[in-house]
Amino acid sequence: MIVSAYVFADGVEFAPEAIGAAAQALRAGQLIGLPTETVYGLGADADNAAAVAAIFAAKGRPSDHPLIVHVAAFDGGMSGVAHYAGRVPSFAQQLMSAFWPGPLTLILPRREGVGAIAAGGQNTIGLRCPAHPVAQAVLAALRQPTAGEPVVWGVAAPSANRFGRVSPTTAQHVQSEFADTPDLLILDGGPCDVGIESTIIDCTRGAPVLLRPGAITSEQVAAACGRALLSPEELEAQGQAAPRASGTLESHYAPNATVRLMDAKALQQALDLLGTEVDKTATPGKTVAIYSRVPLKTAARQIELRRMPSDAAVAAHELFSVLRELDALRVQLIWVETPPDDVAWDGVRDRLQRAAA
């Protein structure tokens, strides 16, 4: 059930009934579809063990694959961060100051007795303060306790899709993923601005470790905290294992079609080899879709050509929507031009490599 989170009258305002209904549902242990600036999340009260377990069940997600908990901004006092984190290193505080609210998740030592199921049983927990105004409004409503009900300090909210599939960036995507759950309340906050999941930085090893690239680049993180970032591989070389984190499995973000990455020359050569042969043997409809930055040519009617933006941020914004659109054509193959070897493209490249794994 999609409910608009906005009222469009003289300007744009929140729909108080929608925000209130979402907060009430979360307090009652129900799941909601929650818009953030990265992707839509499937949210639950992070301290309600049964509700968090329902997220894992709804997504078909392994219970040891941790969730990210969304909190209000860290203010140094009793906040979601203070509730869930046993310790916040100074460089983590610098990153919060620089990028929160925003698409950055920090892995921190978890306070004993809180958020264990959301953390996948680990002694660490991933926290993020989302920038989307609807997510912020819901978190603010949860901080205002109603009669006889406790404060909700955080919302566990992995991407609102079946495990391993393409993440949703609109309320309609969420509804299509959970069509068999018509009573799921989905707040419609419009298309997500960023379009790919948050950058994840492990802050539990004495130095920042990049676990997942995103819109906030490794260079920006290093500049904000004044420390060079380590990779999981460098951490392992030091005899330390990085904690499990959301969206870091080898295969993830995958459409139904098989995804393959190729450079522009290989894409055109493949098209030249196919020629019109694909039209002679294929069933009606599109068979192969190609998503590339360079213009390509083909005479084959059953090949769908889509142009990828040359700007990394714009490409990230539309990536998951395009993969869903191409999947809807029932193509068998999606060939994608390999993103440039540039730090700005790290997030897009990471998602495509996992989709193709």
**Statement: residue 107 has pLDDT above 90:** yes
Residue 322's pLDDT band, with cuts at 50, 70 and 90, is very high
Q: Are residues 187 and 272 in the same domain?
A: no
Distance, in Å, from the CA atom of 176 to the CA atom of 353, rounded to the nearest integer, reads 24
Q: Is residue 247 part of a domain?
A: no
Task: Please give the Cα distance from 37 to 229 (Å, whole number).
Answer: 24
Per-residue model confidence (pLDDT) at position 195: 97
| 68-70, strands of its sheet edge to edge | 2-4, 185-188, 32-34, 41-45, 155-156, 68-70, 124-128, 104-109, 199-202, 209-212
- Copy the structure tokens of residue 284: 């009606």
Q: For residue 119, is it within any domain? A: yes
Higher-confidence residue of 113 and 286: namely 113
Query: Could you say which of 187, 208, 237 is where a domain stops?
Result: 237
- Give the pLDDT band of residue 79 (cuts 50, 70, 90): confident
Does the pLDDT value for residue 105 go beyond 90? Answer: yes
232-38-41 Cα angle (round to 5): 95
Residues 216, 310, single domain; the answer is no
Rounded CA gap, 317 and 232, in Å? 26
Whether 152 and 211 share a structural domain: yes
- 24 is a domain residue: yes
Which among 171, 203, 237 is the end of a domain? Answer: 237
How far is it, in rounded angstroms, from Cα 42 to Cα 171?
11
The per-residue pLDDT for 307 is: 95
Report yes or no on 249 lying in a domain: no
Asked if residue 128 is part of any domain, the answer here is: yes
Residues 181 and 42 in one domain: yes
Number of domains, the chain: 2
Q: What confidence score (pLDDT) does residue 190 get?
A: 94
Q: What is the pLDDT of residue 73?
A: 78
The structure tokens 């566990």 sit at 156
Asked whether residue 243 is domain-assigned, the answer is no
CB 22 within 8 A of CB 189: no
Q: What is the CATH number of the domain that holds 317?
A: 3.40.50
Nearest residue to 253 (alpha-carbon basis) of 316, 331, 343: 316
Q: How many percent of the chain have pLDDT more than 90?
A: 71
Backbone angles phi, psi at 210, to 5 degrees: -80, 115
> 110: closest CA among 138, 80, 131, 137?
80
Same domain, 268 and 221: no
Residue whose C-alpha is closest to residue 351's, from 148, 159, 81, 182: 159
End-to-end Cα spacing for the chain: 33
pLDDT surpasses 80 at 334: yes
Q: Which of 354, 355, 305 is nearest to 326 (CA)?
A: 305
Cα within 13 Å of Cα(355), Cβ side: 29
* Domain boundary residue, one of 183, 202, 237: 237
Contact status, residue 37 vs residue 192, Cβ threshold 8 Å: yes
Residues 129 and 216 in one domain: yes
Q: Is the pLDDT of residue 283 over 60?
A: no
pLDDT in tens, 46-64: 999 999 999 999 999 998 8
Work out the number of other CB atoms within 10 angstroms of the CB of residue 90: 9
**pLDDT value at position 197?**
96
| Spatial distance between the Cα atoms of 181 and 25, rounded to a whole number of angstroms | 15
CATH code of the domain covering residue 112? 3.90.870.10
Q: Are 210 and 229 in contact (CB under 8 A)?
A: yes
pLDDT at 201: 97
What pLDDT is attached to residue 7?
A: 67
- In eight-state DSSP terms, residue 238 is T
Q: What are phi and psi of 254, to 5 degrees?
A: -95, 135
* Summary mean pLDDT of the chain: 90
Range of the domain at 118: 2-237
**Does residue 286 share a domain with residue 231?**
no
Judge whether 252 lies within some domain.
no
Is there a single domain that holds both residue 272 and residue 228? no
Same domain, 273 and 143: no
Global pTM exceeds 0.95: no
Residue indicated by tokens 């490249």: 349
Residue 285 and residue 233 share a domain: no
Q: Do 208 and 313 belong together in one domain?
A: no
Q: Domain for residue 246, yes or no?
A: no
Higher pLDDT, 4 or 337: 337
Question: Residues 82, 199: one domain?
Answer: yes
CB atoms near residue 281 (< 10 Å): 8
